[in-house]
Amino acid sequence: MHAAQIGRSDWAEFDRKIAAAQKLMLANPNDAMRAAQNAAALANRYKQSPHYRRAAATALWLEAEALMRTSRLPEARIAVNQAEQFAADDKTVTKFDGDLALTHARIAESSGDFADALRSYQRAHAIFLRIGVPRSQALALLGLGDLYGKARDFNREIRYYGEAVRTYSGDRTIAFAAANNLGFAYQQMGHYDQSIPFFDKALSTAVLLKSPLLQANILDNLAVSYARLQRLPEAEHAARRSLSLMSKKGEAEETRSAWGAQAEIAYRRGDFDAAVANLQQAFRDLDVKKTTPIFRDIHEIAYKVYRKIGNLPLAIAHLAALKRLDDQGRSLAASANLALLAAQFDFATQDLEIEHLKSAKLERDIKLRKSQAETGAVVFASVIVAAILLFGWIAWRHTILSQHRNTIEQKNTQLVKTLAERDSEIQRRTAVETHLRDAVQVAEQANRAKSHFLANMSHELRTPLNAIIGFSELMLVRSMKSDDVRDYAGDILEAGRHLLAVLNNILDLARIESGKVDLEGSIVRLGDVVHYALSVLGGLNARTGKAFSVSGEMDLLVHVDEVRLRQVIINLLSNAVKFTKEGDSIDIRIDRVEGGVDIAVEDSGQGIPADKLSSIMEPFVQADSSYARSHGGSGLGLAIVKSLVELHGGSFAINSEHGKGTIARLHLPEERLVEPGSANIPKRVEAYRSIRPLPAA
């Protein structure tokens, strides 16, 4: 009895420590974490108790929350995973399970694992919906909206925020978050007139919450929307209110956004001296090379102002910062978009498997009905046989039995007909449902492909255009040193070439998919094609310090479209150069194999994860890693290579091990080979070899 009393006393102490951790979470996450760890240590003393696993899960959950709030994300992920394992053992679903899934989603989102975050937010929403907790449902919906905002899928972001408000409107913090985020989403889309009502609503809620900081943030957003609608008096009024609120609170750092808004207003009025003064306040004591994404629009205004007044060094510095932040935003949005598309594909696959199970059940039901009909037929036959056996000694009932038999036969015929019609109707409905489901999936895939294409191309085209326009305008402002002109011209040329390469890839893929690419046949030496590709990449080789080596049967003759084969080899070598480190080598080998000839390009770069090998040759898809993302690209190169090789009747494959390099191998079939002496090689090929030597390996 005494031991039991001690146990009950300790569980009460456990509850007090959990309550303390929850109370400290917002004000002091470190103290909250220590309280949660103390609670976990107390629970571990009673591992045989039926309450232990739920208690341990609760303590680990709060520890994960505190670790997340102190940016210790790897430790937070470990803690929340352990909490979920403990919570899953009791086989029940409660609000705690939903809270755990919500914390898991937030940690995954902060870690950049957007696919895991999407699954966890949806699981949390499903739990809260099932047990009827609308406030928590709204929190899960806000998380989903924020996730799609990172992927720049603004339509879904707006839909989830609106659904959150409709689900639960009794919490001012939820109402504030939804209204502010809706306003910001419309502002990002350029719909400034639609953003203002939501910012006004968020501002009213911030006043009720008595938070000057929240009010100032909303006023900064309002000032930007008003300024871009040329409603300058209202914009200036909002910016001044923001500055006044933060000055009273003594929050100097929080005034930077307001000074940026003031600078944009002054620029739009043509008051460049005031704009410069405001920009100096916004960037005081800051290194423009290390600013965060919230300064993106202020950098753009700063670039325009300093360019206008002829301060070229500052204009260039802010243009470079703008390009850096645009590149970061593009990388984050593309990574999030690809992760969410992959997760949605997994969900679609699960739905398809469920539909298959339903179809199998329907098939079993049909077989059961057929079996029942056959049993009825056997029973009927037995009745007929019994009637025949009884006919002799009950002849006086023959007429009556005949009538009954005819009636039963008619009913049986009608029953068989009815069952046949029913089976036919079931089959027809199944076919219609399958057709509709396929049509819906095709439409959804087309819509996702469109969104993915626009997201990739808008960023891929915008970055070189910013460089072309920015440096061209700087060259027009005033005369400059010849060295500066050459540098800017080089930047413009590089951006133009990048833009042209993207557009050419899009056009090539469009022609291939529409069947409008006709191969022009010519007999060429494979070594000459490789030499040409290496000469094109010779300048890049010299700049990066990367070496090429060529081996194998260089004199093999093939009947191919020479221009298209060059394009394939250049694409493969460009990819290899892009993902190898300085000083590494790239090997090109031509091998005569059974059934044709292989051309292999091997590099010693980062390699490709095994789970990405099946998708990287799809249009607009890249291996989803920070290393690959840092090199940009539209994700069309390998799709074009694969299509052009297949047009030649060949095949294309990639073998790679993450961290150990990649081998890209294309195979041309036997019928493409030409025996020496059976055809004349054009003189231009020999001449080319003499003037285009192989770059030094």
Kindly tell me if the per-residue pLDDT of 690 is higher than 50: no
pLDDT digits (tens, 9 = 90+) for 109-138: 888 888 888 889 989 999 989 989 999 988
Fold annotation for 171-264? 1.25.40
**Residue 568 pLDDT grade (very low, low, confident, very high; cuts 50, 70, 90):** very high
- Identify the pLDDT of residue 336: 56
- The more confident residue out of 392 and 591 is 591
Residue 468 carries which side chain, given as an amino acid letter?
I
**Residue 626 pLDDT grade (very low, low, confident, very high; cuts 50, 70, 90):** very low
Alpha helix locations (H) across 560-681? 562-578, 626-629, 637-647
Counting Cα atoms < 13 Å in the Cβ hemisphere of 191 gives 14
As its CATH architecture, domain 522-691 has 2-Layer Sandwich (3.30)
Kindly tell me if the per-residue pLDDT of 686 is higher than 50: no
Strands 585-593 and 547-552: parallel
Each domain of the chain, given as residue ranges in start order, spans: 171-264, 522-691
Q: Taken in order 77, 81, 86, 90, is the CA torsion positive or negative?
A: positive
Return d(Cα 570, Cα 586) in angstroms, integer: 13
Kindly tell me if the per-residue pLDDT of 528 is higher than 90: yes
- Identify the pLDDT of residue 620: 54
Highest mean pLDDT: which range of 114-118, 225-229, 362-366, 424-428:
225-229
Mean pLDDT over residues 248-273, rounded?
A: 81
Alpha helix locations (H) across 310-397? 312-391
**Residue 477 pLDDT grade (very low, low, confident, very high; cuts 50, 70, 90):** low
Kindly tell me if the per-residue pLDDT of 693 is higher than 60: no
**Residue 553 pLDDT grade (very low, low, confident, very high; cuts 50, 70, 90):** very high
Return d(Cα 388, Cα 405) in angstroms, integer: 11
- What is the full DSSP assignment across 630-651? TT---S-HHHHHHHHHHHTT-E
Mean pLDDT over residues 31-53, rounded?
A: 85
- Identify the pLDDT of residue 543: 56
**Residue 348 pLDDT grade (very low, low, confident, very high; cuts 50, 70, 90):** very low
- Is 113 within 8 Å of 120 (Cβ atoms)? no
Task: Calculate helix-pair angle for 296-309, 398-477, nearest 10 degrees.
Answer: 30
**Residue 524 pLDDT grade (very low, low, confident, very high; cuts 50, 70, 90):** very high
Return mean pLDDT, the chain.
78
Mean pLDDT over residues 1-25, rounded?
A: 69
**Residue 6 pLDDT grade (very low, low, confident, very high; cuts 50, 70, 90):** very low
- The more confident residue out of 398 and 488 is 488
Kindly tell me if the per-residue pLDDT of 347 is higher than 50: no
Strands 585-593 and 596-603: antiparallel
